[in-house]
Structure 1
Amino acid sequence: MRKLLGAALAAWMLIAAPARAEAPVVAAPAGTVEGVAQNGVRIFRGIPFAAPPVGPLRWKPPVAAAKWDGVRKATAFGPACVQPRNRNAGIYTNPLDKVSEDCLTLNIWAPEGAKDLPVFVWIHGGALVAGYSHESMYDGARMAARGNMIVVSINYRLGILGYLAHPELSAESPDGISGNYGLLDQIAALKWVQRNIAAFGGDPGNVTAAGESAGALSVLYLMASPRAQGLFHKAIAQSAYMITTPELKQDRHGLPSAEAAGMQIMGVVGAADLAALRAMDAERLTVEAATKGYGPWGTIDGKVLTRQLVETWDRGEQAKVPVLAGFNSGEIRSLPVLLPPAPANAAAYEEAIRARYADLADYFLRLYPSGNIKESMLATTRDALYGWTSMRLAIGQTAIGQSAYLYLFDHGYPAAAQYGLHAFHAAEIPYVFGTATQTPPYWPKIPDGVVDRRLSDAMLTYWASFARTGSPKAEGQPDWQPYGKAANYMGFANKPQPGTRLMPGMFALHEAAVCRRRAAGDQPWNWNTGVISPVLNKATGCR
């Protein structure tokens, strides 16, 4: 009897237990992969899109990964690309399990039954020095399910391993160029998407390239690069910055050539030649280069990037795609390293501005008055980097007949306010991805309340709609009009609120300052603003 009861109980448990989701398997041109299924979403992690750039492939353009035999497990994320480890706790700190040069992988989230869905390719931020595709905030499950689209996140080479230019490297290249390896990795990932994403239910003819901060800078580089044309059809740039970019062989705009910077850092780290540099331990080299002041940027090489971003946009040569772009009201509150030292008092502040901005000084001081120096300096740096860039994107795409959608993220909540971090840099990301409970350990905790849930739902839906159609719409929410002649934008505070003419006068001031710096020819733009600006002399064609 006991045996019969036991058998009956076991049978009942098998019937009553929920059926375990069968592991999804996809046969793609790159090879067959097995992922995991969770809550109606198929997830494939750590898929290689390029061969490991190690040994002789270090500082080479990416080579497509060889097709593998059999079924490859795609159930674990790949390692992050080599980067310095965080030593100090901060809101962006999220300890890494593993870093490696063998890091060129991507992750895919696809709704079950997906077919011909829009594809959203996410490029992480981190100043081109840090970051990784599987950061918990970038979990694409909710976006894929709620937005009914395919979400892809990618890794790319960082720091000196991703952006070093050097005469020896240029001599190796058939094109006579070097640098931009991280950008070429992003292009390789987009090519992999073109070849393979249909097997996962995505439409290769409807791809959105999206990113935040350095990821958004990367989106601008992609929009400017002839080698990325046709690989994506829409662009999202969250807190982008259209900065001065070093040129391969010439010192210009106050910057040394990229090759000169490469030669300098080679000497600093004690490598006699390129072979010695390739033989160095990747982590040690990356940390030492960062510590000694090496800054990774794109390189104007005439092939991958043909000219300064501002020149590309002035000529209307950027990708002819719809754009969604914007910035956060408190960008610099979490990035105080970008601020110069504050003048001692209001008089010193005004004196510094008048000495530097000359005939533009009164205009400047109306926008950034001396009554509250701290707030004015936060706003100055925010606008010179992120605000000016976002508006330039909106104006530039409108000028070439493409739709552009501008936003300002101005949402705050108690935990952020406690540290003076209202609408800080990257604060919008968990709202876009629907990952409010998956922020880094020291991130100000987002409330689990009606206001924040509704705001996240609205933003996720707008972003998904833009990826689907090129027009951001959300049921039950205000219409988001293209920038157009009315200079429309959408504000995100406690709820979406449309408006026109965001921050009147801001763009014109910083456009005038950039124009004068460009005309001078010996000054970079964006970083050296406000009380540390060079003297802005009038120039032909500039305000």
Structure 2
Amino acid sequence: MVRFLQVVTTLALLAAGGSSGQDAAPLPSALPRPLTLNVAPTPAAAFPVPDLRVRVHGGALLGRALDGGIRVWQGVPYAAPPTGERRWQPPQPPAPWTGLRAATALGDVCPQPLSQMPGDGRSGVRGAEDCLFLNVYAPPLPTAGRATRTPVMVWLHGGSFRSGAGSDYAAEVLAREQGVTVVTLNYRLGALGFLAAPALADGTGGSGNYGLMDQQEALRWVRRNIAAFGGDPRNVTVFGESAGAMSICAQLASPLSRGLFDRAILQSGPCTPQGITTPLSSALTTGSAYARALGCAPQDAACLRAVPAARLLDVPVPGSRVPGAVELGIVSGDRALPRPPAEVFAAGAGLRVPVLLGTNRDEGTLFVAPVAGAGQDLPLWQFWAVVALLERWDAPRALASYPAAGGTVGNAAAALVTDSIFACPTSDLAADLARTGPVYTYEFRDPAPPLELSPTASVPRYGASHASELVSVFGTRLAGLADPAQFTAPQAELARTLRTYWANFARRGDPNGPGLAPWAPYDADTGRVMGLAPGATAEFTGFRQDHRCGLWDRLAVR
């Protein structure tokens, strides 16, 4: 099977002529740090909205109210700062505080490149190492009667394991409209989150996957504390997109995740194709070379922990040559993920929870569009070279299935990326998971979502590209990607339908509900998938045929 890291890296390498790295500015404190108010507790009657003051393990928090009665707590620490000796260690509980801590400003994001979108062109970095914060959005309290516990939805952001933050997503629409408590969070990224190196081995099989362990610690925090915000700690759904969904996929295969969540929603993020996870032995080899590139001996933990965070972003990881490619990601073979997820799921050994998962019809357009530049199509030789490099003797069969005749070479390449990396592996994952629990599958099919992306000669129309469903899920603008204010009436209705399906699934593990098109659990015999399109939400068959999954089944190395 075409490997995710190889496709993205190779396409970008050909476009960039083998350039490496990017200049990094000193790390700014991009967002205000949360304040600690060391004052004596004030009687509840003195607060205009008493329910904004909550007590969690560690101390008392003061949130704020948004329009429409939404209550939000921001910059809440769920773990101690992973700095100094705690860098490249499993997350530790945060230090308790006295008095009332103001949870009214976003915490720092984890260190990452400033630019998150392909072709953005911006350089520099944002964030700080003290970044393990989460944000809680609670729905309005009832005007009469007692409030009931609400379902909890915990969001894991995407960004190729090197960028993104929970604070990039505003969840007030989802919380208010669907009556759910939403938690968004940061987790360590890049080398700080996923570096495996001999110096960092802890003697118990731990090296790498610190970002996965952060996610697990945040979920533990939710189980312990979400009741204080009105959420139901016994009804927690984790949902995420791209790297966030790949993380959830890995969590489903991790023995350390047992008991941390009750349901899972994976948007465009299978973790089973080759290259999504890296064997520990290979990760340690890469980590040793990276340590030397940083000027440290592979066994010298003190030297590595003394390297400034900005330099970790500035020095390319050996084997990666292009900004934006996934340099370091999930590791299999350590304590957090002892076995490759594909092996776990094939054996029926993953966590047995209801799962909703799917992809977008045109995932690959986002990755291919910037490769050749705005004024030219992807050169045919580049497309052929990539497929030949990846598929070797099977390249003629793959190329014959994705002709550029009648369209652009970029569109042919985008279709190959869509099918081989997203659609078919997700369909295979659904089949594996459905053997041990209920699974619901979808395809987001809006042909013209309101994207803030410039078309190129290579990809003149993005369609339902990677990440294009996110503004429907959250109902708020994502800067540089899309704005729901530009929805047509059918698109706005589709967005409400999508949020309702997601929230219904979070409530009881079944997306169905009154007024919605019926959605049957996955059935390999019928192959039905829920199609999510403006004015045309309904199940359809032929998903695997549409995405040439028979071809990729034959070419796959499982």
Shorter-chain TM-score tier: 0.7 to 0.9
CA contact (8 A) 2:450 2:482 kept: no
1:506 matched residue in structure 2: 548
Structure 1 counterpart of 2:416, one-letter code: T
User: Counterparts in 2 of 1:367-382, with a 5 A limit?
Assistant: 367-371=401-405, 372=407, 373-382=409-418
Residues 365 and 89 (structure 1), Cα distance of their counterparts in 2 relative to 1, 3 Å cut: closer
Residues 91 and 168 (structure 1), Cα distance of their counterparts in 2 relative to 1, 3 Å cut: closer
What secondary structure does 1:80 align onto?
A: coil
Residues 416 and 155 (structure 1), Cα distance of their counterparts in 2 relative to 1, 3 Å cut: closer
Deviation at residue 202 of structure 1 after TM alignment = 1.3
CA contact (8 A) 1:139 1:433 kept: yes
Deviation at residue 317 of structure 1 after TM alignment = 1.2
Are 1:284 and 2:326 counterparts? no
1:531 matched residue in structure 2: none
Residues 374 and 389 (structure 1), Cα distance of their counterparts in 2 relative to 1, 3 Å cut: same
Are 1:180 and 2:209 counterparts? yes
Can you list the C-alpha shifts for 1:219-274, whole angstroms capped at 9, x where unaligned? 1111110001111111111111323322223xxxxxxx111111100111222432
What secondary structure does 2:167 align onto?
A: coil
User: Counterparts in 2 of 1:233-248, with a 5 A limit?
Assistant: 233-242=262-271, 243-244=273-274, 245-248=277-280
CA contact (8 A) 2:158 2:245 kept: yes
What secondary structure does 1:62 align onto?
A: coil
Structure 1 counterpart of 2:333, one-letter code: D
Counterpart CA distance in 1 for 2:71 and 2:552 is 46
Counterpart CA distance in 2 for 1:353 and 1:269 is 30
1:412 matched residue in structure 2: 448
1:333 matched residue in structure 2: 365
The alignment of Structure 1 onto Structure 2 pairs a total of residues equal to: 481
Q: Equivalent pairs: percent with the same residue? A: 35
Residues 282 and 348 (structure 1), Cα distance of their counterparts in 2 relative to 1, 3 Å cut: closer
CA contact (8 A) 1:30 1:196 kept: no
Can you list the C-alpha shifts for 1:30-70, whole angstroms capped at 9, x where unaligned? 32111011222110101100000100111000001133222
CA contact (8 A) 2:444 2:532 kept: yes
2:393 matched residue in structure 1: 356
Match of 2:178 among 120, 129, 147: 147
Structure 2 counterpart of 1:200, one-letter code: F
Counterpart CA distance in 2 for 1:482 and 1:247 is 33
Q: Unpaired runs of 5+ in structure 2?
A: 1-46, 142-146, 321-325, 373-377, 456-460
What secondary structure does 1:65 align onto?
A: coil
Can you list the C-alpha shifts for 1:99-129, whole angstroms capped at 9, x where unaligned? 1111001100011335321110000000000
Can you list the C-alpha shifts for 1:185-240, whole angstroms capped at 9, x where unaligned? 00000011111111111112211111100001101111110001111111111111
Can you list the C-alpha shifts for 1:406-460, whole angstroms capped at 9, x where unaligned? 333334146669622211211100101111xx22146477624312211111111
Counterpart CA distance in 1 for 2:448 and 2:502 is 20
CA contact (8 A) 1:413 1:446 kept: no
CA contact (8 A) 2:178 2:500 kept: yes
Residues 332 and 446 (structure 1), Cα distance of their counterparts in 2 relative to 1, 3 Å cut: farther
1:27 matched residue in structure 2: 55
Q: State the Cα RMSD in Å.
A: 3.1
Are 1:320 and 2:356 counterparts? no
What secondary structure does 1:100 align onto?
A: coil
Q: TM-score scaled to structure 1, two decimals? A: 0.81
Deviation at residue 297 of structure 1 after TM alignment = 1.2
Can you list the C-alpha shifts for 1:116-162, whole angstroms capped at 9, x where unaligned? 21110000000000001111xx2111111111111001100000011
CA contact (8 A) 1:329 1:424 kept: yes
Counterpart CA distance in 1 for 2:116 and 2:173 is 31
Q: TM-score scaled to structure 2, two decimals? A: 0.79
Counterpart CA distance in 2 for 1:276 and 1:453 is 53
Structure 2 counterpart of 1:258, one-letter code: A
Structure 1 counterpart of 2:361, one-letter code: S
Q: Which moved more, 1:179-188 or 1:396-405?
A: 396-405
CA contact (8 A) 2:114 2:122 kept: no
Residues 431 and 87 (structure 1), Cα distance of their counterparts in 2 relative to 1, 3 Å cut: closer
2:469 matched residue in structure 1: 428
2:34 matched residue in structure 1: none
What secondary structure does 1:236 align onto?
A: strand
Counterpart CA distance in 1 for 2:471 and 2:384 is 41
Greater Rg by CA: 1
User: Counterparts in 2 of 1:95-174, with a 5 A limit?
Assistant: 99-113=127-141, 115-135=148-168, 138-170=169-201, 173-174=202-203
CA contact (8 A) 1:133 1:154 kept: yes
Counterpart CA distance in 2 for 1:383 and 1:431 is 23
Counterpart CA distance in 2 for 1:346 and 1:277 is 39
